[in-house]
Every structure is written in structure tokens, then in C-alpha cells.
Amino acid sequence: MVGKVTGVGKNVTKFEVGDLAAVGCIVDSCEHCHACEKDLEMFCTEGVTFSFNSVDKHTGGLTFGGFSKSYVCKEQATLKVPESLGLAAAAPLSCAGITAYSPLRHWQAGPGKVVGIIGIGGLGHIAIKIAKAMGAKVIVYTTSPAKVDDAKRLGADDAVLSSNEQQMTKYAGKVDLFIDTVSANTM
């Protein structure tokens, strides 16, 4: 979710009232267990709090994510949004963006690497843009002929129709990393 800061606590140093801010999927964790100490808050042994539909450990209420009119959040779970980026462009980055960025970064997508992206819905769309920005060659795999042009318009170097066996051989053995954004069993 994204929004404008309307108030800050006395220990907040990164934000002032009026700043634009983004909040991702995780808003709270214990900060002292072995997982939290390795920046793996997702695996917090005391339980992680998600921005949406989690029990807030401090108030006992539920978190309502972007459906909230206002949101109180730890500074550590809040990102600064540059004015030049704007709220509409920043919002998808705090969910689909980080989801696509994390494996691309972990597996070192970049110049000289070929990244295959399976599916171009919300995640695939943003994965194309991030992989290209990292300098990788991007090949999109889609079942939909109508999405081939979309894939190229979004920056993909090539798009393969996965329903076409001949096309599927084109990059066989040449892709360094696949990002599978399709929830169906594709094998």
C-alpha cells in the first residue's frame, strides 16, 4: 500500500509529515529471534504480522492493509517513495515488485544472463521490467498469442508460445533462470 505520512512517533528519523511512503506485505515481527536477526522476518519464531488480515500484536485487532483509511506502522516496515515515482507507480512495487525482484536478485539476473518468465499477468509484467532493468536478456513464455506483443512492448527480447512445441525448443538449454508466475501446474 502507499500513502502520505500524516504523523510520526518521537523516535522516527526517516520520515516527516507529508512524505510519501509504501508498506509491503510484512509490518511486524519480534526483531530478536534467530530468523529476525538474519533479516528473515517471514520465519519469525514468534509469528510474523502481515499488513493485511493478521492479528496486530499491539492492539489485538486485525490488520486491514490498503483497505484501511489510515495505517500505523513501524518505521522499519515502511519505505520512502520518491515524489518523482508517484503513488500509482509505487504501489505494485511493494507487493508484485518485491516478489519478482527477490528471486532475480538472489539468482543474480544481469548482463549475460537469460531469464525466462512464465506468464505475464501482474507478476510476470513486473518481472519483465525488473529483469530488463538488471540487464538480462528476457524471454517470455505464454499460452496466449495475444500476449506476445504485450510481452515485447513491456521490454521482453522474445516471447515463446508455450502451446507450440516447435517454439518451445528455441531456447532449450539456454535459459539461466526461470521465474514461474503461473499458479497452475505447468509441467
Q: Provide the binding-site residues for Zn ion, judged by CB under 5 A.
A: 29-30, 33, 36, 44
Closest CB to Zn ion among residues 27, 90: 27
Q: How far is the CB of 46 from Zn ion (least distance, A)?
A: 5
Contact present, 25 and 9 (Cβ < 8 Å)? no
β-strand partners of 177: 115
Minimum CB–partner distance for residue 26 and Zn ion (Å): 11
Q: How far is the CB of 30 from Zn ion (least distance, A)?
A: 3
C-alpha cell at 93: 512495487
Cα separation of 160 and 183, whole Å? 18
Q: Residue 33 or residue 182: which is nearer to Zn ion going by CB?
A: 33
Cβ-based nearer residue to Zn ion, 8 or 35: 35
Nearer to Zn ion by Cβ, of 33 and 148: the residue is: 33
Q: What are phi and psi of 166, to 5 degrees?
A: -65, -45
- From 85, 160, 89, select the one nearest 120 (Cα to Cα): 160
Nearer to Zn ion, 38 or 69 (CB): 38
Q: How many Å apart are CA 78 and CA 80, to the nearest integer? A: 7
Taking the complex as a whole, how short is the minimal distance between the CB of residue 94 and Zn ion, in angstroms?
21
Q: What is the DSSP letter of 74?
A: -
Query: Of 62, 80, 65, 76, which Cα lies nearest the Cα of 32?
Result: 76
**Smallest distance from the beta carbon of 110 to Zn ion, in angstroms?**
32
